[in-house]
Amino acid sequence: MEHIIIGGVAGGMSAATRLRRLDEDAHITVVERSGHVSFANCGLPYHVGGVIEDRGSLLLQTPASLGRRFGLDVRVGTEAVQIDRERRVVVVRELATDTVSGLPYDHVLLSPGARPVRPPIPGIERALSLRDIEDTDALVAASTPARTAAIIGGGFIGLELAENLTRRGIAVTVVEAADQVMTPLDPEMVAPVHDHLRASGVVLRLGASVTAVGPDTVTLATGEHVPADLVVSAVGVRPDTRLADDAGLETGRLGGILVDSRFRTSDPRILAVGDAVEKRDALDGEQVLVPLANTANRQGRMAADVMAGLPAHDRPVLGTAIVGVFGLQVATTGWSEKRLVAAGRPHRVVHTHPASHATYYPGAEGMSLKLLVDRDTDAILGAQGVGREGVDKRIDVIATAMTGGLTASALADLELAYAPAFASAKDPVNMLGYVADNLRTGVSRSVQWHELADAVADGAVLVDVRTHEEHESGAIPGAVLIPVDELRGRLDEIPPGPVVVHCAVGQRGHTAARVLAHAGREVRNLDGGYRTWLAGTGLRHPVLAH
């Protein structure tokens, strides 16, 4: 069998090596346009910043090493220029010599990845991107003399580069057209990220667009000129479908290659994986674009199984992702509240602000977690987390629970590893489950930070059950202070009608709400407490204060 794999790195090389382990007799050719077929692309920003000092450590395999270990015919600096479906030949060109030749195939696997979006801005040709080793070398060279940098786009790559260019001593401005960075996050969850970026020296220009790139500045729509010896375009990526389009393969409404559950394109002899293909969303089954390395690696492995004749099938995607921002962990899985609202899907929301491990053990760090739950079925729809430590494993547990079909209430029953240095006896994931179960069973009722003003306008009395000292340091306007430990003796001070209680993060508020409920009052707890309200209303977020 002749197998041609177009594109290396995550999807292509996972497919090539898996295919060899399944079929020792197949002839496997890997065609890669760049000069490197196997590298750690997620580590590229950290080499730019000097965190990963040795460039060679990013180069995982070479054509020679892949040939020795796996018997692969790896051709770097070689571009696939055409797939001749009638003759079943891939036409390739060696870039160094401009030599064109044809490679016959039984199967082709397309893994071309995605191309950086280049907005149509005058002077944008000066902006650099970050996709491969060659881009990385160009960024390192350009960063050496630079004193100022403008990054267009506040997504994953934009923020990683903001951190790493700052590490090099460069004054960085991030220009983002949306009103927040990290658009998959909801506004109250991204607030501490904004604060942390600014505290780390990054200038944010949110809700701003670049209209021109000059020799040493970028110009915003407001007319402001932002100093920029170095300009990076990180506004996103789009599927690289040039070969697929030229070959007449079907693409979807989102611009990616359409494949079935066995990665087959509209031509069953041609498969496709990775950032170039549209995936199926785990929540609604619709087509989505999810350009993540984990997904590409897994799809490459499964596509190899298909090419070897095994009964492999793709799975829907959750979009689980994490990024590090100056020591802050920012993670997400599933849908955001914004997306649920836009889709009109009924849901509940749970906010908590736990510690990364037992607070009596030194080094505990605060985090903010958000869980999104189907109101009717208790299914987990998504989660977000922000904090200095421990966010990664909590999001991973929730993503695993979603894949396994566990309900939100079932999170309370998970048996998770505990020791004071690593977690609490009631892990933050368990606590999300407790809150979700209380809401499901009607033991608790909650109000969200963005619903509070309407609740008060409708006649609810807002009661702050924190301490006097906490109230004096900052309070929600109009709140009546009755500390939770005094509540039972002061019930007659609360005017008739519905009540909303709040504490700092929600836990004391829950206790107060139960006291009031047993007293016959209609009561709701402010979900996530004062801390979530602060973040959502745009005031300074305190969770990251030392």
Nearest to 462 by CA among 473, 449, 235: 449
DSSP letter assigned to residue 200? T
d(CA 337, CA 120): 31
For residue 501, what are the β-bridge partners?
Answer: 463, 525
Pair 352, 428: CB distance under 8 Å: yes
- Dihedrals phi, psi of 209, to nearest 5 degrees: -130, 150
Residues 6+ apart with CB under 8 A from 517: 523
Between CA 152 and CA 149 the distance in angstroms is 10
Instruction: State how far the Cα of 454 lies from the Cα of 451, in Å rounded to an integer.
Output: 6
Return the ∠ at Cα 474 (arms to 468 and 479), rounded to 5°.
Answer: 70
The active-site residue, picked from 237, 272, 503, 535, is 503
Residue 503 known to be catalytic? yes
Dihedral angle computed from the Cα positions of residues 289, 292, 295 and 299, in that order, rounded to the nearest 10 degrees: 80
Q: Which residue type does 15 have? A: A
Q: Are 116 and 161 in contact (CB under 8 A)?
A: no
Radius of gyration over every alpha carbon of the chain, rounded to an integer in angstroms: 26
Q: Which residues have a Cβ under 8 Å from the Cβ of 215 and sit 6 or more positions away?
A: 126
Reference 275, options 294, 255, 253, 291; nearest CA is 291
Q: Which residues contact 443 (CB under 8 A, 6 or more apart)?
A: 437, 514
**H helices present in 247-314, as ranges:** 293-307
For β-strands 148-152 and 287-288, DSSP reports them as unpaired
SS (H, E, C) 163-198: HHHHHCCCEEEEEECCCCCCCCCCHHHHHHHHHHHH
Written as six digits, the tokens of 277 are 């293909």
Contact indicator for 395, 410 with CB cutoff of 8 Å: no
Residue listed under structure tokens 């504490």:
503
Contacting residues for 518 by C-beta, under 8 A, at least 6 apart: none
Catalytic residues: 503
